[in-house]
Structure 1
Amino acid sequence: MAEAKQNSNLRQAIDFGALVAFMGTYLFSRVVQKLDSTDAMFQATWVLVGASIIALLAGWLLEKRLAPMPLFSGLFALVFGTLTLVFHDPNLLKIKITIQNLALSVILLGSLAFNKAAFKYLLGSAFHLTDEGWRGLTLRYGLFFLCVAIVNETIWRTQSDDFWVAFRGGLWVASAAFGIWQVFFIMKHLIKDEEPEQNT
C-alpha cells in the first residue's frame, strides 16, 4: 500500500511537472527571449508534448498500466499539441481544454442517464465507494468539467495569450481545490475494507 501511494504521489508530481514546464517555457520565452505570444506558445507547446510523453511513460513504468484518467489527459495533450505545431495554430491548444472537459462532462453526466456512474471506471480501483457515493461524485465532476469547458471557451476567445496561460495555471489550482473539497464527500460514502476473519 505504501509503495502504491508513493508511486501515485510521484505520478501526480510528474503530471503537474508537465504544466509547470509549459508555463515556465512560455514565461521564459516572453520575458527573457522577448518573443511575441504566438512564438512563445509554440515553444511551450513543444515542451508540453515532450512532457506529456514522459508522463505517460512514467505512469506505465511506475504502475505497470495506464490509468484511464491520466491516459485520457495525456493523449489529448499529445494530439492537440501535435496539431498545434503541425498547423501552426495556437488556438488548437486552447480549445483542447474545452473539448477535453466537455467530453468528460458528456461521459459522466450521460452515464447517469443510464443509471451508471462512469467516474467509478475512470478512477479504477483508487478507492471503494457506495453506489450513491459514485453517482454523487460522477454528478459533481460532470458539472465541474462542464463549467471548466464553458469558462475556458469564454476566456480563450476574449482574452490574450498571456491571460490564457495564467488562467491555465489557475485552473490547476481550482481543480486541486475542488478535489480536496470532494474528500469530505468521499469519506462519507467510503466503504471500509472488511476485517479478515480469524481462523479458529
Structure 2
Amino acid sequence: MSKDNSVTDKREINPFLKSALEFGPVIVFFIAYLLLKDRVFAIGGTEYDGFIIVTAAFIPLLIASTGALWYLTGHLSRMQVATLVLVVIFGGLSVWLNDDRFFKMKPTMIYLLFGGLLGIGLLRGTSYLKYVMEGMMPLQDAGWMILTRRLMLFFFGLAVLNEVIWRTQSTEIWVYFKTFGLSIAVFGFFLSQSKLFQTYGTPDAKGDDKTEG
C-alpha cells in the first residue's frame, strides 16, 4: 500500500509557479480587500460591502488555482482539498446570506477539523500526521506521536484564537490576522520543534551526508 498522500501521481513543476498557485489567491484576497473594504455595492437590490464581494471573487479564484495545481502536478494534499471544500461552503454561505461571519468562521472549522482528525489518530495509537508528512520530515515513531500531540493542541489553540479575533476585533484586523498571523504562527510552531526533529530524526535523515565518499 502506497504511503503517498497525493490524490494521484505527483509531478514536479516550477517552484515559483507552485507557490503562486498556492499563495496567490490569499494575496489577491488581501489586496482586493484593502482596495474595496470601504465600498458598498448594490446588486439585485441588495447592498453588499467590499468584504462580501471580495469573498465572492475569492471562491472561484481558489477553485481555479487549486484545479490548475492538480492539473499541473497531478497532486493535491488532503489539507488542500479540505481547505477548498470549507472555503466553498463557508464562503458561499457568507455570500448567499450576505453575512461575513460564516467566512470568518472558516479557519475555526479548518483547525478544529485537522485537530480533531489528529486526535482521533492518537486515540487509535497512530499518527495521521506521519501518514501525511512522512516524506517531508523523517522521524522515529515516538517523534511522530509527540509532534502529532503538540500539533493537535496547536490547531485547537488556533481555532480558539480565530474565534476570539473575529468576534472581538474589526474585520480589517481579522483579515490581517488571517493573511499573516496564522501563517506566521504555523511557521513559528514548526520552527520551535527543531529540538524534537534533532532528537527523533531517523538515522537515514541524520546521516544522508555520510553516504558519500
TM-score range relative to shorter protein: 0.7 to 0.9
Query: What root-mean-square deviation, in Å, do the aligned CA atoms of Structure 1 and Structure 2 show?
Result: 2.6
Query: How far apart are residue 187 of structure 1 and its match?
Result: 4.6
How many residues in Structure 1 have an aligned counterpart in Structure 2?
A: 189
* Larger helix percent: 1
Give the equivalent residue in structure 1 for 2:211: none
Query: How far apart are residue 55 of structure 1 and its match?
Result: 3.0
- 2:39 counterpart (24, 31, 35): 35
- Cα displacement string for residues 67-114 of structure 1 (whole angstroms, at most 9, x for unaligned residues): 112112222112211221122111000111111111111111231121
1:117 and 2:117 are equivalent in the alignment: no
Moved more, 151-160 or 173-182: 173-182
1:131 and 2:141 are equivalent in the alignment: yes
C-alpha contact (below 8 Å) 1:11/1:58 kept by paired residues: no
Query: How far apart are residue 184 of structure 1 and its match?
Result: 4.8
> How do 1:2-151 and structure 2 match up within 5 A?
10-30=17-37, 34-35=38-39, 39-123=49-133, 125-151=135-161
Q: Percent identity?
A: 29
C-alpha contact (below 8 Å) 1:119/1:138 kept by paired residues: yes
C-alpha contact (below 8 Å) 1:42/1:90 kept by paired residues: yes
- 1:163 counterpart (173, 176, 181): 173
Query: How far apart are residue 177 of structure 1 and its match?
Result: 2.4
What residue identity is the alignment partner of 1:166? Y
What residue identity is the alignment partner of 1:28? L
Query: How far apart are residue 124 of structure 1 and its match?
Result: 6.0
Query: How far apart are residue 4 of structure 1 and its match?
Result: 6.5
Moved more, 139-148 or 115-124: 115-124
C-alpha contact (below 8 Å) 2:13/2:73 kept by paired residues: no
With normalisation by structure 2, the TM-score equals 0.77
Which segments of 5 or more consecutive residues in structure 1 lack a partner in the other structure?
196-200
Moved more, 123-132 or 101-110: 123-132
Moved more, 45-54 or 153-162: 45-54
Give the equivalent residue in structure 2 for 1:198: none
What residue identity is the alignment partner of 2:39? L
> For the residues of structure 1 that align with 2:191 and 2:52, how far apart are their CA atoms?
33
> For the residues of structure 2 that align with 1:26 and 1:96, how far apart are their CA atoms?
17
Which segments of 5 or more consecutive residues in structure 2 lack a partner in the other structure?
1-9, 41-47, 209-213
Change in Cα spacing, 1:17 to 1:176, as seen in structure 2 (3 Å) is farther
Give the equivalent residue in structure 1 for 2:6: none
- Cα displacement string for residues 8-52 of structure 1 (whole angstroms, at most 9, x for unaligned residues): 66434422222111111110102xxx316x611112212321231
